[in-house]
Amino acid sequence: MAPMGDNVVVSNMELERLLSMKGGKGEASYANNSQAQAIHAKSMLHLLRETLDRVELVEGREVPFVVVDLGCSCGSNTISVVDVIIKHMMKRYEALGWHPPEFSAFFSDLPSNDFNTLFQLLPPLANYGVSMEECLAANNHRSYFAAGVPGSFYRRLLPARSVDVFHSAFSLHWLSQVPECVVDKRSSAYNKGRVFIHGAGESTANAYKKQFQTDLAGFLKARSVEMKREGSMFLVCLARTSVDPTDQGGAGLLFGTHFQDAWDDLVQEGLISQEKRDSFNIPVYAASLQDFKEVVEANGSFAIDKLEVFKGGSPLVVNQPDDASEVGRALANSIRTVSGVLVDAHIGDKLSEELFLRVEHRATFHAKELLEQLQFFHIVASLSFAQ
């Protein structure tokens, strides 16, 4: 029998320190596996621009216009969306015949995020002495000052009333922690035999829902202090279309099928124990529109300008859909990009490699089914201060 994985269980306190998308520029890195997010974000740009049009402009302001991307990760997507936001706001100033202010962009994520790779992707700063027309045409330069802000967006990150636009995409479904009862053998919510809540018991799903709503409440409370009264916020996170929280939709297919089976393979082959598998849970919750709306309304600080479920499409981007091996590799890389750091910490690098090889093998065998069925839906929310 092969040796059991002997790494310690990742505690909830360690999650914030560890959680990050896969850094660097390797095959499984976020930088090379975030094309689907880019496609989904592009399809929502019209909704983002509607949010930006609600921001109240001030003529002759002497302080910078501040944009913050929360959960920025380490790829080029965050840079692209900040560029869209700032160029749109510059055009709004131009349409009014007003001189635009300076712009600042803060890229925020957990301290474990690969900020080095992100900042290497930043284009050079344009000369602020040039005209607005030159700034708008400077595709190879950025027209804003940039800085990183490490920390959890479920708490305060920035000074009070300092931010004009908050943007967060594909991040709020990540919980601040796995609910403690989910890994407690004495609890009715104990998620025995599973590494995700898809198909789990009602108590387990309710524990995840409660954690999501607690986290979102913390997020909104922090933003209600940091955002300017005339500002706006654009949020995107994973959604489910079922009223049943144990049916996690696309997230369920991603984490609750071949990924789950690969963990079971390791148990059956004696590479890890059942307890080792059962003590690992993906801290993700795909919320319903009602889950989200309840928190915003309970917070009371924000008016809901738009709240809808948006079909994002498949998380798999492949050049040759008929190549089953490419589909299998794409699924394994997609999961590894977002959860690989946690898996590595839980069972070690070598067993993690074995796990994702099994994911790839299983996904290759089910390639056609994955391409047909794996679809993501997103909650899209546009919020401003309640009058």
- pLDDT given for residue 340 in this prediction: 87
Residue in this structure with the two tokens 């993690």, named with its chain if needed: 352
What distance in Å separates the CA atoms of residue 185 and residue 281, rounded to the nearest whole number?
A: 14
The region of weakest confidence among 4-18, 57-71, 203-217 is 4-18
Sign of CA dihedral 239, 195, 75, 30: negative
More confident: 367 or 9 = 367
Indicate the average pLDDT of the chain.
86
- pLDDT exceeds 90 at position 312: no
Convert the pLDDT of each residue in 219-231 to its tens digit: 999 999 999 999 9
DSSP bridge partners of 145: 104
* Cα–Cα–Cα angle for 90, 95, 98, rounded to 5 degrees: 70
Cα 93 off chain centre by: 31
Q: What is the mean pLDDT of residues 164-174?
A: 94
Convert the pLDDT of each residue in 42-84 to its tens digit: 878 999 999 999 999 988 888 999 999 999 987 788 999 999 9
Q: Residues, the chain, total?
A: 387
The region of weakest confidence among 135-139, 257-261, 374-378, 379-383 is 135-139
- pLDDT exceeds 70 at position 25: no
What distance in Å separates the CA atoms of residue 252 and residue 286, rounded to the nearest whole number?
A: 9
- pLDDT exceeds 90 at position 146: yes
More confident: 333 or 23 = 333
- pLDDT given for residue 35 in this prediction: 60
Q: Which two tokens stand for residue 331?
A: 């699924």
Confidence band of 6 (pLDDT split at 50, 70, 90): very low
- pLDDT given for residue 44 in this prediction: 84
What distance in Å separates the CA atoms of residue 286 and residue 256, rounded to the nearest whole number?
A: 13
- pLDDT given for residue 339 in this prediction: 87
- pLDDT exceeds 70 at position 38: no
What distance in Å separates the CA atoms of residue 299 and residue 28, rounded to the nearest whole number?
A: 38
For the sheet containing 376-385, what is the strand order? 145-150, 103-109, 65-70, 163-169, 227-239, 376-385, 302-313
Q: What is the mean pLDDT of residues 103-132?
A: 81
- pLDDT exceeds 60 at position 302: yes
- pLDDT given for residue 142 in this prediction: 82
- pLDDT given for residue 287 in this prediction: 96
What distance in Å separates the CA atoms of residue 207 and residue 200, rounded to the nearest whole number?
A: 11
- pLDDT exceeds 80 at position 133: no
Question: Which residues fall within 8 angstroms of residue 252, CB to CB, at 6 or more apart?
Answer: 196, 198, 199, 286
- pLDDT given for residue 37 in this prediction: 65
Burial of 12 from C-beta contacts in 10 A (0-12 / 13-18 / 19+): middle
- pLDDT given for residue 113 in this prediction: 86
- pLDDT exceeds 70 at position 20: no
Backbone angles phi, psi at 17, to 5 degrees: -75, -30
Instruction: Tell me the residue type at 151.
Output: G
Q: What is the mean pLDDT of residues 348-362?
A: 93
Convert the pLDDT of each residue in 285-295 to its tens digit: 999 999 999 99
Q: For residues 134 and 94, is the Cβ–Cβ distance under 8 A? A: no
Q: Which two tokens stand for residue 301?
A: 């600080």
H helices of the chain, in order, are: 12-18, 35-43, 45-52, 77-96, 115-121, 132-137, 202-226, 249-256, 258-268, 274-278, 289-299, 324-347, 349-365, 367-373
Q: For residues 107 and 118, is the Cβ–Cβ distance under 8 A? A: yes
Confidence band of 34 (pLDDT split at 50, 70, 90): low
Which residue, among 273, 332, 264, 335, has the nearest Cα to 7 in the 3D structure? Answer: 273
Burial of 233 from C-beta contacts in 10 A (0-12 / 13-18 / 19+): buried
* Cα–Cα–Cα angle for 278, 280, 270, rounded to 5 degrees: 55
What distance in Å separates the CA atoms of residue 129 and residue 245, rounded to the nearest whole number?
A: 53
- pLDDT exceeds 60 at position 316: yes
- pLDDT exceeds 90 at position 192: yes
CATH number of the domain at 26-243+281-315+375-385, please?
A: 3.40.50.150
